[in-house]
């Protein structure tokens, strides 16, 4: 048996003709940076997400980082977020000197606990950054400071609720480019304008620098490919949700032990990942691998215990829910093309491990 965690070749093959046409269009136009492809992608993305402004960026990390720059976040400011996320969620703000203040996740959804987040907010808090982890929409805390949604894993998963959201189009994401890319979306025209300014060295017009920005542009090639793939996002989201539902049904029939927990359903869940919680997770993972079934662990170590954030003073035990999750989470294959037979085999192998 060979079940890849993510079959990139199959992913590309499913839209290859359209990707080839998009690439040819860019090469024929001779415009490789900016131009109509980027402008059209931004218009189409804004419509798809239901916002007034979308700004294409070089990556999801840069989308978060430039949002932090646009909000003038700097040393002495605090940013509240979850310890159970990809490093960039915190790194994008810490790079500007902000102090990261973590709050624990909700034990069932694994997203930032809004009450815990509210309780660590102070007059120094300049932003709250909930993460729609694995595609599950995070509940937003009732706070007065700006909410920046890390929506890297949840494109298409419902309307923008905070001030702005950052998307990642890393190739394995639900909407994946053929390299690095990202976007900022917002309904705030001034914020969108500031992000767009900072994206191109803060220059307006060219060679006249109003702000200290950088090069955070999306390539025209990536924008063109993303336009082609955006047209399929709705159908592919439905396919992911159908596979998640199928996993739930197959697991139910397989009588797995009650300590094995399935992801909590939510009508707006994007199932970027289908993450179970398993006792003896590492042993289970090795056994699945020995039978050709690939899985992943997101994330093996919470951010508050990362060596580079040691100076924040958190310890093991600071955030028990996030720490427990790091020992239990196991992401199963959930690609839109995943067959029912494969899902049955994956679940049977897991059930067999616990018998």
Closer residue to ligand PLP, CB minimum distance, 51 or 131 = 131
> What Å distances lie between residue 141 and 106, 121, 149, 313, CA to CA?
12, 10, 11, 24
Closer residue to ligand PLP, CB minimum distance, 59 or 343 = 59
Closer residue to ligand PLP, CB minimum distance, 61 or 343 = 61
Please answer whether residues 182 and 62 qualify as being in contact, where contact means their C-beta atoms are separated by less than 8 angstroms: yes
Residue with tokens 């000197």: 97
Of residues 166, 140, 144, the one with CA closest to residue 88:
166
Closer residue to ligand PLP, CB minimum distance, 78 or 150 = 150
Query: Least distance to ligand PLP from the beta carbon of 289, Å?
Result: 23
Orientation of helix 189-199 relative to helix 60-70, angle to 10°: 110
Query: By Cβ distance, which residue is nearest to ligand PLP?
Result: 60
Closer residue to ligand PLP, CB minimum distance, 153 or 321 = 153
Please answer whether residues 162 and 146 qualify as being in contact, where contact means their C-beta atoms are separated by less than 8 angstroms: yes
**Strand arrangement, sheet containing 148-150:** 53-57, 182-186, 164-168, 148-150
Residues in contact with ligand PLP by the rule CB under 6 A: 59-61, 85-86, 88-89, 131, 150, 152-153, 168, 170, 180, 182
Query: Least distance to ligand PLP from the beta carbon of 205, Å?
Result: 29
Strand-pair category, 99-102 with 78-81 = parallel
Beta-bridged to residue 324, according to DSSP, are none
Query: Least distance to ligand PLP from the beta carbon of 63, Å?
Result: 8
Could you give the 3-state DSSP secondary structure of residue 105? Answer: strand
Query: Least distance to ligand PLP from the beta carbon of 151, Å?
Result: 8
Query: Least distance to ligand PLP from the beta carbon of 243, Å?
Result: 20
Closer residue to ligand PLP, CB minimum distance, 114 or 182 = 182
Closer residue to ligand PLP, CB minimum distance, 180 or 219 = 180
Query: Least distance to ligand PLP from the beta carbon of 186, Å?
Result: 17
Could you give the 3-state DSSP secondary structure of residue 15? Answer: coil
Please answer whether residues 99 and 51 qualify as being in contact, where contact means their C-beta atoms are separated by less than 8 angstroms: no
Query: Least distance to ligand PLP from the beta carbon of 224, Å?
Result: 18
């Amino acid at each position: 048996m060979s079940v890849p965690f993510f079959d990139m070749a199959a992913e590309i093959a499913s839209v290859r003709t359209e990707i080839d046409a998009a690439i040819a269009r860019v090469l024929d136009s001779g415009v490789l940076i900016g131009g109509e492809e980027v402008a059209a992608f931004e218009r189409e993305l804004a419509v798809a997400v239901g916002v007034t402004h979308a700004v294409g960026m070089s990556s999801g990390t840069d989308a978060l980082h430039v949002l932090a720059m646009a909000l003038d976040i700097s040393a002495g400011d605090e940013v509240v977020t979850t310890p159970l996320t990809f490093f960039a969620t915190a790194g994008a703000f810490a790079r500007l000197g902000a102090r990261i203040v973590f709050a624990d996740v909700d034990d069932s959804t694994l997203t930032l606990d809004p009450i815990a987040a509210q309780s660590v907010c102070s007059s120094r808090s300049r932003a709250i950054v909930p993460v729609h982890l694995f595609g599950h929409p995070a509940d937003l805390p009732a706070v007065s400071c700006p909410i920046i949604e890390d929506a890297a894993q949840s494109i298409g998963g419902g309307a923008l609720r905070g001030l702005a959201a950052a998307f990642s189009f890393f190739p394995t994401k639900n909407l994946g480019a053929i390299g690095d890319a990202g976007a900022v979306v917002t309904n705030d025209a001034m914020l969108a304008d500031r992000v767009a300014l900072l994206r191109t060295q803060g220059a307006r017009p060219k060679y006249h620098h109003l702000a200290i920005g950088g090069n955070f542009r999306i390539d025209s090639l990536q924008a063109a490919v993303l336009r082609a793939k955006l047209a399929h996002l709705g159908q592919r989201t439905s396919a992911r949700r159908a596979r998640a539902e199928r996993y739930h049904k197959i697991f139910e029939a397989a009588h797995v032990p009650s300590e094995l927990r399935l992801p909590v359903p939510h009508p707006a869940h994007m199932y970027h990942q289908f993450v179970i919680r398993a006792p003896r997770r590492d042993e289970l993972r090795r056994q699945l691998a020995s039978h050709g079934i690939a899985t992943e662990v997101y994330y093996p170590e919470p951010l508050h215990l990362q060596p580079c954030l040691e100076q924040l003073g958190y310890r093991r035990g600071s955030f028990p829910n996030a720490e427990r999750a790091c020992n239990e989470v196991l992401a199963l294959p959930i690609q839109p093309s995943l067959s029912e037979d494969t899902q049955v085999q994956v679940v049977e192998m897991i059930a067999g491990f616990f018998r």
